[in-house]
Amino acid sequence: MASKTKQPLKSGTTGNAKKRKSTGPADGDASAKKKQPRLDSFFAPRVELSATCGTDKKTHVAQLSDEQNAVLRMVLDDEKSVFFTGSAGTGKSLLLRAIISSLRKKYAKKPDAVAVTASTGMAASNVGGMTIHSWGAVTPSNSDVDAQIRCIRFAKPALQRWKNTKVLIIDEVSMVDGHLFDTLEAIATKLRKKTDKPFGGLQLVVTGDFFQLPPVCKGEPFFAFESNSWTKCIEHTINLTQVFRQKDNKFVDLLNEMRYGSISPATAQAFKALARPIPPPPASMPNIQPTELFPMRHEVTNANQARLRALPHRTYIFQAHDTFPQANKSASSARRSSSSSSSSTSSPASSTATASPTSSSTSATSVASSSKSSALGSRQNAQTDQAKRRQEGLLAGVLAEKTLELKKGAQVMLVKNIDEMLVNGCVGKVVGFATYREVITARNELARAELGSAVHADSVVTPKVEKGKVSKEKEKDVKTEKAREGEGKSDVKEENDKKSKAAKLVVKSTGVIRKVRVDPGGALITVSTVKENLDPSSSSPRTTSPASAAASSISAPAKPCSPPSTSTTSHPSERDEERFPLVEFPTPQGGREAVLVLRDEFRVEDASDAGRLLARRVQVPLVLAWAMSIHKAQGQTIQRVRVDLGRVFEKGQSYVALSRAAAVEGLQVLNFDARRVVAHPKVVRWSKGLVQAGAKGGTGAVGVAGAATAVSGAATAVGAGEEAEEVRM
Ligand SMILES: Nc1ncnc2c1ncn2[C@@H]1O[C@H](COP(=O)(O)OP(=O)(O)OP(=O)(O)O)[C@@H](O)[C@H]1O
Nearest to 220 by CA among 253, 261, 178: 178
- The answer on pLDDT for 213 being more than 50 is yes
Position in ligand 1 atom list of the atom nearest CA 96? 18
Q: What separation in Å is there between the alpha carbon of 43 and the centre of ligand 1?
A: 20
- Quick check: 338 pLDDT over 50? no
Q: How confident is the model at residue 462 (pLDDT cuts 50, 70, 90)?
A: very low
Say yes or no: CB of residue 86 within 6 Å of ligand 1: yes
Q: Is the CB of 259 under 6 A from ligand 1?
A: no
Is pLDDT larger for residue 295 or for residue 265?
A: 265
Which residue ranges form the domains of the chain, and what is each CATH number? Answer: 62-244 (3.40.50.300)
> Is the beta carbon of 88 within 6 A of some atom in ligand 1?
yes
The confidence score (pLDDT) of residue 356 equals 41
Give the pLDDT band of residue 667 (cuts 50, 70, 90).
Answer: very high
* Atom of ligand 1 lying closest to residue 65 CA: 1
pLDDT tens digits, one per residue of 1-28: 444 444 444 444 444 444 443 333 333 3
Q: How far apart are CA 67 and CA 71, in angstroms?
A: 6
The band of 454, judged by pLDDT with boundaries at 50, 70 and 90, is low
| Cα–Cα distance for residue pair 92/655, rounded to 1 Å | 16
Q: Which residue has the higher pLDDT, 591 or 191?
A: 191
Cβ–ligand 1 distance for 423 under 6 Å, the answer: no
Residue 423, number of CB atoms within 10 A of its CB: 22
Q: In the predicted model, is pLDDT for residue 485 greater than 50? A: no
Mean pLDDT lowest for which of 217-226, 346-355, 684-693, 703-712? 703-712
Q: In this structure, which residue's CA is closest to atom 25 in ligand 1?
A: 88
Q: What are phi and psi of 690, to 5 degrees?
A: -65, -40
Whether pLDDT at 481 is above 50: no
Mean pLDDT of the 300-329 span: 88
**Nearest in space to 356 (alpha carbons), one of 375, 370, 342:** 342
Residue 475 has pLDDT above 90, yes or no: no
Higher pLDDT, 487 or 265: 265
Residue identifier of the C-alpha nearest atom 13 of ligand 1: 245
DSSP secondary structure code for residue 552 in this structure: S
238 CA distance to ligand 1 middle (Å): 16
The H or E element spanning position 610 is none
Residue 544, pLDDT > 60, answer no
Distance of CA 9 to the CA centre of its chain: 29
The CB of 215 under 6 Å from ligand 1? The reply is no
**pLDDT tens digits for range 86-107:** 998 899 999 999 999 999 999 9
Atom of ligand 1 nearest to the CA of 244: 12
Question: Is 90 annotated as ligand-binding?
Answer: yes
Atom 23, ligand 1: residue with shortest CA distance: 89
Q: What is the pLDDT of residue 636?
A: 78
Among 418, 573, 548, residue whose Cα is nearest residue 480: 418
* 343 labelled ligand-binding: no
635 CA → ligand 1 middle, Å = 9
**How close is the Cα of 321 to the center of ligand 1, in Å?**
34
Selected residue with higher pLDDT from 25 and 199 = 199
326: buried, middle or exposed (CB in 10 Å: 19+, 13-18, 0-12)?
Answer: middle
94 pocket-lining for ligand 1 (C-beta < 6 Å): yes
Contact of 567 with 260, CB cutoff 8 Å: no
Answer for the pair 436, 507: CB distance below 8 angstroms, yes or no.
Answer: yes
Task: Please provide the average confidence, as pLDDT, over all residues in the chain.
Answer: 70
Amino acid letter for position 250: K
* Pocket mutation for ligand 1, best pick of 87, 172, 245, 247 (most atoms within 8 Å of C-beta): 245
221 lines ligand 1 (CB under 6 A): no
Share of the chain above pLDDT 70, in %: 60
Cβ of 242 closer than 6 Å to ligand 1, yes or no, is no
- Which atom of ligand 1 lies nearest, measured to the CA of 68? 1
- Please report the atom of ligand 1 found closest to the CA of residue 634: 27
Q: Tell me phi and psi for residue 224, to 5 degrees.
A: -60, -35
Q: Which atom of ligand 1 is nearest to the CA of 86?
A: 21
User: Is the CB of 90 within 6 Å of ligand 1?
Assistant: yes
**CA 407, CA 429: separation in Å to the nearest integer?**
10
Task: Give the least confident one: 425-439, 516-530, 647-661.
Answer: 516-530
Q: Is the shortest distance between the CB of 208 and ligand 1 below 6 Å?
A: no
Q: Look at residue 153 in the predicted model and tell me its pLDDT.
A: 86
Q: Which atom of ligand 1 is nearest to the CA of 208?
A: 25
What does the DSSP assignment read for 56-123?
-SS-SEEEPPHHHHHHHHHHHTS---EEEEESTTSSHHHHHHHHHHHHHHHTTT-GGGEEEEESSHHH
- For ligand 1, the distance from its centroid to the CA atom of residue 89, given in whole angstroms, is 5
Asked if residue 340 belongs to a known ligand binding site, the reply is no
- Ligand 1 centroid to Cα of residue 167, in Å, is 23
Which residue minimizes the CA distance to atom 27 of ligand 1? 635
Which residues contact residue 122 at a Cβ distance below 8 angstroms, ignoring those fewer than 6 apart? 397, 399, 631, 632, 634
Task: Report the separation in Å between the CA atom of 93 and the middle of ligand 1, taken as the mean of its atom positions.
Answer: 6
Q: Residue 130: beta bridge partners?
A: 117
Q: Which of 49, 293, 630 to mutate for ligand 1's pocket (most ligand atoms within 8 Å of CB)?
A: 49
Q: Is 92 in the pocket of ligand 1 (CB under 6 A)?
A: yes
Pairing of strands 622-624, 411-414: antiparallel
List beta partners, residue 169: 116, 205
Confidence of residue 77 (pLDDT cuts 50, 70, 90): very high
Q: Is 128 annotated as a binding residue?
A: no
Q: Does the beta carbon of 245 lie inside 6 Å of ligand 1?
A: yes
Per the model's pLDDT, the better-predicted residue between 305 and 157 turns out to be 305
pLDDT at 503: 44
Q: Is 54 labelled as part of a ligand binding site?
A: no
Please indicate whether residue 46, judged by its CB atom, sits closer than 6 Å to ligand 1.
no
Q: Determine what percent of the chain is predicted with pLDDT higher than 90.
A: 29
Query: What pLDDT sits at residue 379?
Result: 64
Q: Is 158 in the pocket of ligand 1 (CB under 6 A)?
A: no
- pLDDT higher than 80, residue 150: yes
Query: Is residue 137 within 8 Å of residue 115, measured between CB atoms?
Result: no
Judge if the beta carbon of residue 209 lies within 6 A of ligand 1. Answer: yes
Q: Quick one: three-class SS letters along 206-256?
A: EECCCCCCCCCCCCCCCEHHHCCCHHHHCCEEEEECEECCCCCHHHHHHHH
The pTM score is 0.64
| Mean pLDDT (whole number) for 54-74 | 73
If DSSP codes are grouped into helix, strand and coil, which group holds residue 510? strand
Residue 88, marked binder? yes
Q: Is the CB of 638 under 6 A from ligand 1?
A: no
Nearest CA to ligand 1 atom 28: 245
Q: How many C-beta neighbours within 10 Å does residue 543 have?
A: 14
Rounded to whole angstroms, what are the CA distances from 225 to 180, 527, 578, 724?
11, 62, 49, 35
Q: Does the pLDDT of residue 716 top 80, yes or no?
A: no
d(CA 390, CA 383): 11
**C-beta of 98 in contact with ligand 1 (< 6 A):** no
As beta bridge partners, residue 84 has: 207, 238
Residue 420: predicted pLDDT: 67
The reply, when asked if residue 87 is annotated as ligand binding, is yes
Res 395: pLDDT: 77
Q: With beta carbons less than 8 A apart as the criterion, state whether 652 and 679 touch.
A: yes
Please check if 91 is assigned to a binding site.
Answer: yes
Whether 488 lines ligand 1, by a CB cut-off of 6 Å, is no
Instruction: Measure 85 CA to ligand 1 centroid, in angstroms.
Output: 12
Task: Look at residues 509, 478, 489 and name the one whose alpha carbon lies nearest to residue 346.
Answer: 509
pLDDT of 355 > 80? The answer is no
Report the atom number in ligand 1 closest to the C-alpha of 209.
Answer: 25
**Which ranges constitute the DSSP H helices of 316-452?**
329-342, 360-363, 371-376, 378-394, 436-451
How many angstroms does the Cα of residue 96 sit away from the middle of ligand 1? 10
Please, which residues have CB within 8 angstroms of residue 44's CB and are 6 or more apart in sequence? 63, 64, 65, 66, 68, 69, 711, 712, 715, 720, 724
pLDDT (0 to 100) of residue 311: 95
Does residue 207's CB lie within 6 angstroms of at least one atom of ligand 1?
no
Spacing, Cα 410 to ligand 1 middle (Å): 28
Confidence class for position 398, pLDDT limits 50, 70, 90? confident
